[in-house]
Amino acid sequence: MEKFVLNVTNRERKGKGAARQLRAKGFIPCVIYRGGQSAPIQINTKEILPFMNIATREKLFVTLKFEDSEKQAILQDYQVDPVTGKLLHVDFMEVSATEKIRVTVPVVLIGEPIGVRQDKGVLQHGISEIEIEAIPEKIPGHIEVDVSQLKVGESVHVGDINFEEGIKVISDPDEVIATVTAEEEEIELTPSTQEQIEPEVIKKGKKAQEEE
């Protein structure tokens, strides 16, 4: 797992108004959680954005550096403005180097399946994350899954992945990560079927309304 160091300071004022003022001054309001307790902190926007650009795609281990101490943590959640996409708030979870934690790790598919290359099949993605339990140093940034040998009708499941010793898989071993199906047929939508389709809402972190 790649490591980052972020300089942080404690913050006293809470609430939406205080958070807006903080962001206007170039800081992002954050919270660090540990054992049911929480502490409000702030981090310079220019410093945290490079971390977030990777942490939203990879599981990262970060050192939160205070003036007189340091804490190890991982990204737990975050909020963005639904209109502008700007970062609003970040939650961290403090971890211990010797304690096992449960996290979800992104899945990255590698290669082009035989069924796609030779038989014009379609690669269908299943779950995009796998939940595991391990000490921080054992947690990978992402999990690579080679799908190059998949033929039409074949799938790869969580149980097919070989994990490093010390990693416990929490996700259902029968969960499908990827499958290759026969070429999809084009379906013409009638007015009645079009009315039944609702737009998909994609979640980006927590809802902005929940901001502290």
Give pLDDT tens digits for 28-54. Answer: 999 999 888 899 999 999 999 999 999
- Lowest mean pLDDT of 71-75, 92-96, 174-178, 190-194, name the range: 190-194
Question: Is residue 34 domain-shared with residue 82, that is, in the same domain?
Answer: yes
Q: pLDDT tens digit string along 177-208?
A: 999 999 764 434 444 444 443 333 333 455 44
List CB contacts of 56: < 8 A, sequence separation 6 or more. Answer: 75, 78
Domain end point (choices 40, 63, 95):
95
The pLDDT mean for the chain works out to: 86
Per-residue pLDDT tens digits for 139-168: 999 999 999 999 999 999 999 999 999 999
My answer on whether 80 and 12 are in the same domain is: yes
Q: How many domains, the chain?
A: 2
Domain boundary among 53, 75, 95: 95
Q: Which domain holds residue 36?
A: 3-95
Distance CA 90, CA 206 (A): 9
Residue in the block written with tokens 């269908």: 124
Query: Residue 1's pLDDT band (boundaries 50, 70, 90)?
Result: low
Please state, for a pLDDT cut of 70, what percent of the chain lies above it: 84
Same domain, 61 and 91: yes
Sign (positive or negative) of CA dihedral 94, 100, 102, 103 = positive
